Amino acid sequence: MTGLKQKICNLIRDDGHRSIANQVFSKAIGVLIIINVAMVVLDLIEVFPENAEFIFNWVETITVTIFIIEYMLRFWTADLMYPRLRAASARFKFARSTMSIVDILAILPFFLPFVTVNLTAIRLLRMLRLLRLMKLNRYSETKTYKMVLESIKDGFVLLDASHKFLSSNKAAGEIFPSLNGIGKYTPISKVKNWPANLASFDENTDSVTFVLNGDNHYRANISKVYDDGDRLLRYIVLIRDYTESVLLMRAEKEIVRSKIAMLEMSANMDVLTSIHNRRYFMDTAGKITATALVEGTAAHIILFDLDHFKSVNDTFGHPAGDKVLQDIAKWVRSKVRPNDLFARYGGEEFIILMENIDKDAVFERVEAIRQAICKAPVEFEDVKIPISASFGIASVQDGGNLEGAISCADLALYDAKKTGRNKAVVYAAQS
């Protein structure tokens, strides 16, 4: 270390060399300080990349290192001042062979300006460092705020108390693309497609629903921000797409309607033959016949049952009887008119309501059905079962109402069975 010190002392022993060294260090430190200031300014205006922190650390480290080297050089070359110090100590009669308090006091004026300058420079660096840390903290808070906003799946829109735009997140920009180019403090009503009920809500509004693009459903939940004096400062609007919920609700409603329809159908249909049951017939035919009586239009009841059906069950079994009922119901349903009401009345008995047709035409249709039934036996397990049917026909006007007409048709059916079966009989009122 002594040899290095001696070399340095020899190098800068005269004032010229010492002046050059001082100038070099002073200029180096000045340049580094300027670089520090420039870098902080550039970083504050966000010219430097976010990951440039290591550059600042290196520049500050080099600056402090040069400060330390400069101090060391000044102390190492302090013996150059000894002749002056000895003269000063002789005047004060404190001459000694080694440095005394007076020597130190005498050398302080030599170092004091440089110490002051360097301390000032260090303070400046610390201030710049603090300024940068404050900026980094603000940047970190801003970045965290943005990260939080972008992590929200719902659309986020921040408005001031007068419904002017302040900020929004990416999700809100996807719902309202024009939010991405809107300026701060722009009235939110100027955003394209922004719903009217979300542009003019008041302090008492908690939520708003609206529809975009025909069938995209959204709900906006509105929160308020107040200061300590309960003065309204901000509106926080969270917009959620609940189209899936709406579609699900619609689907559930359709399912419920379908189930209700199925229940109603099962309640109105005969399970075995898949035609209407007696309950449905009585409800529907009652309305039709009442209208026919009021308007004076023609309406007829045809009641028929299968001849000797009990013997079918006894001979071939109940499965065969069920097959007969199913085939007859299916065949007759294909022969009646679409607006005719056809139902199973009970057991092997069926009933038909024909409206807007005269009695002769009714009889011709019934005869065609009867003849077709007796000509087409039902096949069951390779066995052909012959079937015939007896019919009774009566008009609604004969009975005065539905129940009366059915009674009249039943009397005609009884006559058909009593007179040989496999025939159609029209009710004739007793004189």
pLDDT at 259 over 90: no
Q: What is the pLDDT of residues 349-399, one digit of tens each?
A: 999 999 999 989 999 999 999 999 998 899 998 899 999 999 999 999 988
Q: Are residues 291 and 382 in the same domain?
A: yes
The last residue of a domain, from among 194, 212, 245? 245
Q: Are residues 164 and 193 in the same domain?
A: yes
Question: pTM higher than 0.75, yes or no?
Answer: no
Q: Are residues 290 and 414 in the same domain?
A: yes
Q: Is 402 domain-assigned? A: yes
Question: Which residues, including other chains, have CB under 8 Å from residue 383's CB and lie 6 or more apart?
Answer: 316, 320
Q: Are residues 364 and 412 in the same domain?
A: yes
DSSP characters over 193-261: T--GGGTS--TT--EEEEEETTTEEEEEEEEEEE-TT--EEEEEEEEEE-HHHHHHHHHHHHHHHHHHH
> If you average pLDDT over residues 318-325, what whole number do you get?
94
Q: Is 431 domain-assigned? A: no
- Cα(173)–Cα(182) distance, integer angstroms: 10
* pLDDT value of position 309: 93
Pairing outcome for strands 424-426 and 389-395:
parallel
Q: Are residues 290 and 225 in the same domain?
A: no
Q: Which domain holds residue 382?
A: 269-426
Question: Which residues, including other chains, have CB under 8 Å from residue 201's CB and lie 6 or more apart?
Answer: 208, 222
Average pLDDT, the chain: 79
- Cα(302)–Cα(406) distance, integer angstroms: 8
Query: Which of 35-44, 56-65, 108-117, 363-372 tops mean pLDDT?
Result: 363-372
Backbone angles phi, psi at 347, to 5 degrees: 60, -125
- Cα(430)–Cα(398) distance, integer angstroms: 11
> Given pLDDT bands bounded at 50, 70 and 90, which one contains residue 94?
very low
Rg of the chain (C-alpha set): 54
Backbone angles phi, psi at 250, to 5 degrees: -65, -45
Q: Is 317 domain-assigned? A: yes
The last residue of a domain, from among 131, 148, 165? 148
Q: Are residues 419 and 278 in the same domain?
A: yes
Q: Is 261 domain-assigned? A: no
Q: Are residues 160 and 142 in the same domain?
A: no
Q: Are residues 176 and 111 in the same domain?
A: no
Q: Is 224 domain-assigned? A: yes
Distance, C-alpha 353 to centroid of its chain = 54
Distance, C-alpha 280 to centroid of its chain = 45
Q: Are residues 208 and 289 in the same domain?
A: no
On the CB side of 246, how many CA atoms lie within 13 Å of its CA? 12
The last residue of a domain, from among 108, 131, 148? 148
Query: Which of 3-17, 81-95, 170-184, 386-400 tops mean pLDDT?
Result: 386-400
CATH number at residue 199: 3.30.450.20
CATH number at residue 397: 3.30.70.270
Q: Is 51 domain-assigned? A: yes
- Cα(209)–Cα(220) distance, integer angstroms: 6
Question: Which residues, including other chains, have CB under 8 Å from residue 355's CB and lie 6 or more apart?
Answer: 288, 292, 297, 298, 299, 300, 339, 340
Burial class (CB in 10 A: 0-12, 13-18, 19+), 110: middle
Domain count across the chain: 3
- Could you tell me where the DSSP H helices lie in 45-100? 53-76, 82-91
Q: Are residues 232 and 289 in the same domain?
A: no
pLDDT at 326 over 90: yes
Q: Is 264 domain-assigned? A: no
Percent of the chain with pLDDT over 90: 34
pLDDT at 96 over 60: no
Q: Are residues 63 and 198 in the same domain?
A: no
Amino acid identity for residue 354 in this structure: M
SS3 (DSSP) at 169: coil
Closest CA to 349 of 270, 268, 246: 270
Q: Is 260 domain-assigned? A: no
- Cα(242)–Cα(260) distance, integer angstroms: 27
On the CB side of 102, how many CA atoms lie within 13 Å of its CA? 16
Q: 66 with 77: CB under 8 angstroms?
A: no
- Cα(191)–Cα(175) distance, integer angstroms: 11
Q: Which residue has the tokens 């003269």?
A: 87
Q: Are residues 422 and 282 in the same domain?
A: yes
pLDDT at 47 over 70: no
* pLDDT value of position 95: 43
Question: Which residues, including other chains, have CB under 8 Å from residue 382's CB and lie 6 or more apart?
Answer: none
Pick 12 or 219 by higher pLDDT: 219
